[in-house]
Structure 1
Amino acid sequence: MATFQDIQQRETGLQQHLSGAQIVMIAIGGAIGTGLFMGSAFAIGFAGPSVLLSYAIGALIALLLMGCLAEMTVAHPTSGSFGAYAEHYIAPWAGFLVRYAYWAAVVLAVGMEVTAVGLYMGYWFPDSPRWLWVALFSAGLIAVNASSVKAFGQVEYVFSMVKIVAIVAFILIGAYVVFGTQRPDIGFHLYTAQGGFFPNGLWGTWVGVIVAIFSYLSLEAIAVAAGEAQDPQKAITSAFRTTVLRLVLFYLLTLALMLAIVPWQAAGTDRSPFVRVMEILGIPGAAHVLNFVVLVAALSAMNSQLYVTSRMMFSLSRGGYAPRGLGRLNARGVPTRAIAVSCAGIAVAMVLNVWQPEKSLVWMMSIAMFGAMFTWFMVFVTHLFFRARWQAEGNRPLAFRMWGFPVLTLLGAALMLGVLVTTYFTAEFHLTLLTGVPFLGVLLLAYRLWFRRRAV
């Protein structure tokens, strides 16, 4: 039987230049993007003020996921990450499905982020075509990713730092306005002013979890980046412990203050609700500054996701599940061909922004969701197999252990499966299962016809 070292060996060649701080920023960069600054508007529309509970439930699932991933990643740091773990601990077909489902999800998420870029630029240039901005910004970030992993890490660090500073400033300004002024139109009474805290019932709150999960997508980038970390065990352990806490604080605090300033029914999807906050407060120039911040946030998330999806395609190629050329590295240790193929989501975004610009964002989000949610569900399933086999083989004590095993791993799997099934019963995300399940079927057929013999 092949060992996990065989999988790690075939994925060698990437440059180990990422520090622990840069890995944290990569995860934050991917997770604090359109999901927070624009996707939150969709979640608020479903749940009203109870969107705070939606994001709290999503944070719980993300926390459980990170615990499972941390245990497996510290034991086996590699760019194939959860795809490689599923291949080794469940079966080769499971690794094939997870890698391709995740690759497709993040490819489409890249397209969603750049679609949001076009929307944000429309705030300043309402008469310009969105596809123009999609093309310009995409070209710039592709160049960054193709240069070197060190350059990518530096750019992503700066992008993420801009977002963090802006969010902290937003929290401070929002706290001052809510607690330090006496404006009758602002305050926590807005939580119950229009239909109560649960205006759409508990069902609306649960549907809001769908967007919350998608907002937290890219937390798992920490595990993918492990293969290019300077000191994998130290960097990954530190990154897992700090990233979730930071994200939960940023998401819940910003949403709590935003809902105390903007009536939930006014948080439309034609612009970021954060920009809407600044318009209501009337701070000169603040709306333009925040629109710049949400633009940087989308670019940062796109940059991070393009990195992650190219490494997943690199892993597929090195495993023999994609054309061999996609696993080749340039002189700087960058899989440029994998990056090129992973730009497919940008092409889809270009077409949708020309054909249906008003519907492009929600379409990209709903189609991308399946692969992301399926991957998260499979991480929990893989962790169950991993722990059982690790103990049965008498391996060394784990340097990092998931707490509450197996109860919390099973809870995470059940919650994730419940959220995935819920998408079918919502008009906005009905496409998620309608496109995702057939795609999974095509992958299984492709594996059976072309790749099963190679895996054996």
Structure 2
Amino acid sequence: MSRTSAPQDAAPVAAPPGESALGHGLKQRHLSMIALGGVIGAGLFVGSGAGIAAAGPSIVLAYAISGCLVMLVMRMLGEMSAANPASGSFSVHAERAIGPWAGFTAGWSFWFLLCVAVGLEGIGAAQIVHGWVPGVPEWAWVALFMLMFCGTNLAAVKNFGEFEFWFAALKVSAIALFLVIGVLAILGVLPDTDAPGLTNLTGHGGFMPNGTEGLIAGLLASVFAYGGLETVTIAAAESEHPIQGVAKAVRTAMWRIALFYVGSMAVVVVLLPWTKEEIPAKGPYVATLDYLGIPAAGQIMNVVVLIALLSAMNANIYGASRMAGSLIGRGLGPRVIGAIHGGVPRIAVVTSSLFGFVCVLLSYWRPDDIFQWLLNTIGALILVVWFFIAASQLRLRRRLEREAPEKLVVKMWAYPYLTWLALAGMATVFVLMARQEDTRVQLYYAGGLTVILAVVGFVWQKLGLQRDAAE
């Protein structure tokens, strides 16, 4: 018989089918850097400038608020993933807690999000390299990057882990160095610099120069900049010690991301007036380094941003392929894509890479309709994923406490109160998106895709396609 209802609370927790064939070559240091590699990208290095322009110095508060929401989500995900490591991560948890349709919706939403993100990151990286080598068209650079990272992900998982470790390490080092330089400048220790004090925080209109509307705009920009942390729980299933690995990686990644994001924004708005046009034009990092008189700041940050984009491409192809492989291995997709060879879902890797490249081609062929639709659709999908994580944790925590309390290696703080608080926070962000004209369309498109996937997943479940696909 096909599965036609959500799993009962009394059902035993078992490993998803098909996932035991994956490799287990990732080490703890790989997991820690993968947790950072997927999230630190152009959104932080460049995109945050628009948030500063909208919110002024209160962008620090916006990143702190959204950072608290992300920490709650990651704590919930860490609890479930440490108890039951799976390459399908939250999709597996949603299936166990709510039903196959929920796992289908959450998983394929995330796959779609990552594939489009891969295309966007490829475009951004190609634009930087094209500026250095204008004789080669941008699409050719994207094709080269896609082939390179498709090849990396087709190899054994330990090779991917090593590649991502060094990429992410360079990004983290760059941000750490920026923070050190910034703090020294704030203290007036650097040559030819004076301590700015609180002048830039209280002047130019005050801490919230554009009022609550500006803070809301900064909050919405910061929420989506945090997307990508979820990849660490996907990678944990292929590590040497999945339970200990995901527990440690989640704990360390949360405070590191908060330090990098909130700390970076604080350094920028303390050192520079938020009204400077260079902040959104060049990006806050370049603008700050230029202000401090760091030689060749623009080119240095171009290299860092390029590394950040390539690292995110690598991590997102990995995450997309593992999510697709897990979904198909559990009978939630066409089985031809999910075959595992040498511990790697190679067809899923190629499929995910090709989908990302098609998105790039659409940016040239149909920039004003189809490509714009893709951009708008992914705008709120990360919130949909977070919603499934919180809803799943509410049910699975009760089940674990009753059936296997020893698996609660990581526990959500103040359960269930903080889980409900996180859900309320997500609902608030949805409402705020509906109020803003430029984000309202993103909410509608993402909501539409989610409903379509939910209907397809429910029909798939009802008609027994899950069983047939797995046979």
Q: Same fold (TM over 0.5)?
A: yes
The aligned counterpart of 1:314 is 325
Q: What secondary structure is seen at the aligned counterpart in 2 of 1:428?
A: helix
Paired position in structure 2 for 1:104: 112
From 169, 176, 201, the equivalent of 1:191 is: 201
Q: Which digits, 9 at most, give the CA deviation of each residue in 1:66-96, with x for residues without a partner? A: 2111111111011111111110111111111
Quick check: 265-274 or 212-221, which moved more?
265-274
Cα distance in 2, alignment partners of residues 247 and 366 from structure 1: 25
Secondary structure of 2:380's partner?
Answer: helix
* Matched residue, 1:48: 56
TM-score, length basis structure 2: 0.89
Question: What per-residue deviation string (whole Å, max 9, x for no partner) do you get for residues 326-348 of structure 1?
Answer: 11122x31112111222213321
- 2:153 paired with 1:145: yes
1:261/1:395 Cα in 2 relative to 1: closer, same or farther (>3 Å)? closer
- For residues 17-416 of structure 1, the aligned pairs below 5 Å read 17-121=25-129, 124=132, 129-180=137-188, 183=193, 188-265=198-275, 266-330=277-341, 332-343=342-353, 344-353=355-364, 356=367, 366-393=376-403, 395-396=405-406, 398-416=408-426
Deviations 1:217-258 (Å, cap 9, x if unpaired)? Answer: 111112111210100121111111111111111112211112
- 1:417 equivalent in structure 2: 427
Q: 1:127 to 1:278 in 2, by over 3 A?
A: farther
C-alpha distance in 1, partners of 2:208/2:132?
Answer: 35
Distance 2:245 2:56 in 1: 38
Contact 1:87 1:94 in 2 (8 A): yes
Structure 1 residue 178, shift from structure 2 partner:
2.7
Q: Number of matched residues?
A: 453
Identity, in percent, stands at 34
Alpha-carbon RMSD: 2.5
Q: d(CA) in 2 for partners of 1:105 and 1:85?
A: 19
Q: Tell me the amino acid that sits aligned with residue 200 of structure 2.
A: L
Instruction: Give yes or no for contact 2:247–2:409 (8 Å, CA) kept in 1.
Output: no
Identify if the C-alpha distance between structure 1 residues 420 and 127 changes in structure 2 by more than 3 Å, giving closer, same or farther: farther
Inter-CA distance 414–299: structure 2 relative to 1 (3 Å threshold):
same
Deviates more, 1:194-203 or 1:64-73: 194-203
TM-score of the superposed pair, with normalisation by structure 1: 0.92
Q: Tell me, what secondary structure is at the counterpart of 2:359? A: helix
Greater shift after overlay, 13-22 or 338-347?
338-347
Alpha-carbon spacing, 1:217–1:116, altered in 2? closer, same or farther (3 Å) = same
SS of residue in 1 equivalent to 2:81: helix
The amino acid that maps onto 1:244 is M
Residues 1:10 and 2:21 are matched in the alignment: no
What amino acid maps onto 1:241 in structure 2?
R
**Cα 1:28/1:322, change in 2 over 3 Å:** same
SS, match of residue 430 in structure 1? helix
TM-fit CA distance, 1:364: 6.0
SS at match of 1:284: coil
**What secondary structure, in the 3-state scheme, does the structure 1 residue paired with 2:379 have?**
helix
The amino acid that maps onto 1:33 is G
Q: Which residue does 2:460 correspond to in 1?
A: 450
Unaligned runs of 5+ in 1: none
8 A Cα contact 2:17 2:330, kept in partner: no
**What is the one-letter code of the residue matched to 2:304?**
V
Residue pair 2:73, 2:386 contacting (<8 A) in 1 also: yes
Whole-angstrom distance in 1 between the partners of 2:157 and 2:294: 39
2:94 maps to a residue whose letter is A
For 1:271-294, what per-residue CA distance to the aligned partner results, in whole angstroms no more than 9, with x for missing partners?
A: 432122223333222321121011
**For 1:431 and 1:129, how far apart are their aligned partners in 2?**
32
Deviates more, 1:403-412 or 1:175-184: 175-184
Superposed, 1:431-442 pairs within 5 Å as: 431-442=441-452
Partner Cα separation in structure 1 for residue 462 and residue 133 of structure 2: 52
Shift of the alpha carbon at 1:315?
1.0
